[in-house]
């Protein structure tokens, strides 16, 4: 039987792999995904989302063309804010924008006020008919609760 080789700890293997593949540099760039609202501010973060980093180019999804235009005008400032939050030596070199209309939908739906509907009056004849149906139920409390539920459903 042969003698087993020296056992290597898995954490040291990961450190070696990260250095060999230079993932530590890439990982520092990807911190922008985790800290997006703090990096760009809440207003921009609500209408944008970082998508992918290809090389050193960050692709950002934008809710609409108006915001895309505004961000193009602020591109250099935005790039400086992003790179200020990247710890490693490698930095984001450019930003590209693409429209993703789904980003703005959630906010728009939340902003639409729910219409207040005045309760319609209950038809006394309908209520009498329903009370007649409830007459066959022996439990008085159950009849009362069912009638209250029926009234609520008919408003």
125 confidence band (pLDDT: 50, 70, 90)? confident
Mean pLDDT of the chain: 83
In-domain check, residue 119: no
Per-residue confidence (pLDDT) for residue 49, from 0 to 100: 93
Mean pLDDT confidence for 54-76: 93
Q: How many domains does the chain have?
A: 2
1 confidence band (pLDDT: 50, 70, 90)? low
Let me know whether 136 and 88 are in one domain: no
In SS3 terms, the chain reads as CCCCCCCCCHHHHHHHHHHHHCHHHHHHHCHHHHCHHHHHCHHHHCCEEEEEEECCEEEEEECCHHHHHHHHHCHHHHHHHHHHCCCCCCCCCEEEEEECCHHHHHHHHHHCCCCCCCCCCCCHHHHHHHHHHHCCCCCHHHHHHHHHHHHHHCC
In-domain check, residue 42: yes
Domain that holds residue 135: 124-153
């Amino acid at each position: 039987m042969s003698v087993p080789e020296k056992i290597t700890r898995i954490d040291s293997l990961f450190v070696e792999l990260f250095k060999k593949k230079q993932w530590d540099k890439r990982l520092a760039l990807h911190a922008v995904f985790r800290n997006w609202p703090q990096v760009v501010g809440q207003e921009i973060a609500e209408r944008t989302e970082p998508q992918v980093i290809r090389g050193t180019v960050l692709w950002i999804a934008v809710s609409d063309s108006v915001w895309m235009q505004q961000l193009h005008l602020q591109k250099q400032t935005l790039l400086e804010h992003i790179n200020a939050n990247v710890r490693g030596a490698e930095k984001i070199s450019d930003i590209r924008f693409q429209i993703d209309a789904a980003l703005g939908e959630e906010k728009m739906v939340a902003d639409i006020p729910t219409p207040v509907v005045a309760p319609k009056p209950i038809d006394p004849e309908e209520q009498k008919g329903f009370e007649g149906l409830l007459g066959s139920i022996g439990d008085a409390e159950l009849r009362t609760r069912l009638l209250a539920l029926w009234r609520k459903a008919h408003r």
